[in-house]
Amino acid sequence: MSNNMTDRLKYQEDEDAESAEKLNPTVERTFEDAFEQTGHGRLNHLVLFTSGLIMLNVSMESVGMSYAITAAECELQLTSKDKGLVNAAAFIGIISTSFLWGYLGDRVGRRAVMLPAILLSAVFSIISSFATNVWMLLVFRFLTGCLISASSATVYAYLGEMHANSKRAAAIAWSSAFISFSFIILPGLAWIIIPGKWSFSFAYMQIVPWRAFVWSWCAPGLAAAVILLFLPESPRYLLAAKGPDAALPVLAMMYAWNNGQTMEEFPVKQLITGSEEVKVGGFAGAVKNVGLMFKVPLLRCVFISHISMFAVFMVSSGLYVWVPDILNSILRSNTNKSITICQIIHDKFVNASMHTESAACESEVSVAVFPISMSMGAVFALTYLAIGFLINKVGKKTLYCGIMFICGIATIGAAFVPEGIAATVLLIISLCSGCAASILAAIAVDVFPTQLRINHSNDLLARSQASEGKTGTKRFHILSL
């Protein structure tokens, strides 16, 4: 009898608890449960769009000079070696500051690092357009690279941390599609601006089209900076760095934006501390965090991710910085015989070495380069969109391996096909390997804990991009031998 009474009392207590929870459903929740209750809506879409603009800005700053450099060749008296160094300068800046930005991103916040860095990168980029010699151009392109390094990987952590686990991979893939827009917008702007014969005086110098072209690609970064002013810091970062009391107001803000309600209506009033809260401050903490990446079980993940990302940029970035120059050489070639891309590059260097100092400098860019480059961007955009649809259906690893296999075969074919149009098509396909970087970024955000995401992502992207920015220059010169 007493047992039955005890069971009835226990049942009544459970029922009362359920009723209380219905009346006050989420007084206390874990972070992940609270995050799910913020919903998915306007704020997430704005974060995705802003992150896309930041990725667009990083891409345009990284490779934009490849379109301007041929037009600037005569004015700045650039040799092929100089052009290679200028193309690599931004990448060198990215790698040289990657650890610093990783430390600052974990120390002061994702948004707090990206906002001033984006603004300063635009300033240095504009200053680089006033360069009067190769060394001034190199220095300011390097400084620009140092600053875009802050957002080149931090943006992936910020974007991933502002989305629920179920939406994260797709959000990164969709936002990464903005990178492909740079390969449409850059040649489009170049097509409009660079062929112009106009000039005007500003301060102490003549402004010619290629200098104005540099100004134009700063617009996405400035637009992203304005929107960032109104966006909150990552709640996952705040939870890890400052605790649940700092993260809760941001979750309430996300709830209000996504659901059209007030922050006070957010039902969660207290967060239960979970594993996300890992407070390690100071430089010693940053060093300790980096050390964790070189210990089991993360060491294997670090090794595989770095090799995989290097493969991505070996096929894409190392070659892409030379694509406008390669296409210009193909289109300006006067020969009607079958000739490979490698032979065209070789002939270009042989002809350059035979020119005397008194020979007229030719820096005119074939207009046909621009629509071809824009078609490349369209293919990239379609590839990114396909990744966005397939990443959760096919799986990240399967999708990455499939893209890299196809692009690898196309790269080999582009080098040996003795026909300009076919080689160009294969070249476009091979460069789509760059789209696989978004897949690796999505994997990294899932695998690495909050306090390691930026350090790993910055190191992963920066070292791969910078290595290929430099080795791409070397490969181009080797082809000419």
Q: Is a pLDDT exceeding 70 seen at residue 348?
A: no
Which of 207-221, 275-289, 329-343 is least confident?
A: 275-289
Query: Which of 220-234, 313-327, 367-381 holds the top average pLDDT?
Result: 220-234
Does a structural domain hold residue 3? no
Q: Is a pLDDT exceeding 50 seen at residue 278?
A: no
Choose between 295 and 229: higher pLDDT: 229
Choose between 85 and 315: higher pLDDT: 85
Mean pLDDT to the nearest integer, 335-358 = 61
Does a structural domain hold residue 9? no
Contact 305, 460 (CB under 8 A): yes
Where do runs of H (alpha helix) occur along 355-447?
A: 369-394, 396-416, 420-431, 436-447
Contact 281, 242 (CB under 8 A): no
What local confidence, expressed as pLDDT, does residue 333 receive?
A: 62
Which of 79-88, 116-125, 361-370 is least confident?
A: 361-370
Choose between 179 and 465: higher pLDDT: 179
What local confidence, expressed as pLDDT, does residue 102 receive?
A: 78
Q: Could you give the CA distance from residue 10 to residue 109 in angstroms, rounded to a whole number?
A: 47
Does a structural domain hold residue 10? no
448 band by pLDDT with thresholds 50, 70 and 90: low
pTM confidence score: 0.75
Instruction: Calculate the CA 338 to chain-centre distance.
Output: 38
* Number of domains, the chain: 1
Mean pLDDT to the nearest integer, 183-198 = 88
Does a structural domain hold residue 13? no
Query: By percentage, how much of the chain surpasses pLDDT 90?
Result: 21
Q: Which helix (H) or strand (E) holds 201?
A: strand 200-202
Does a structural domain hold residue 22? no
| Total residue length of the chain | 481
Structural domain that includes position 152 = 28-479
Choose between 405 and 102: higher pLDDT: 405
pLDDT tens digits for range 11-56: 555 555 444 444 455 577 888 889 999 999 899 999 999 999 999 9
Contact 135, 77 (CB under 8 A): no
pLDDT, mean over the chain: 78
Q: Looking at this protein, which amino acid is placed at residue 79? A: T
Does a structural domain hold residue 371? yes
- Domain harbouring 389, CATH code: 1.20.1250.20
Q: Residue 166 — φ and ψ, nearest 5°? A: -70, -20
Does a structural domain hold residue 47? yes
What local confidence, expressed as pLDDT, does residue 253 receive?
A: 94
Give which of 134, 126, 130 is closest to 205, Cα–Cα.
130
Contact 219, 226 (CB under 8 A): no
Q: Is a pLDDT exceeding 50 seen at residue 277?
A: no
Does a structural domain hold residue 16? no
Residue 435 sits at the vertex; the CA angle it makes with 434 and 440, to the nearest 5 degrees, is 95
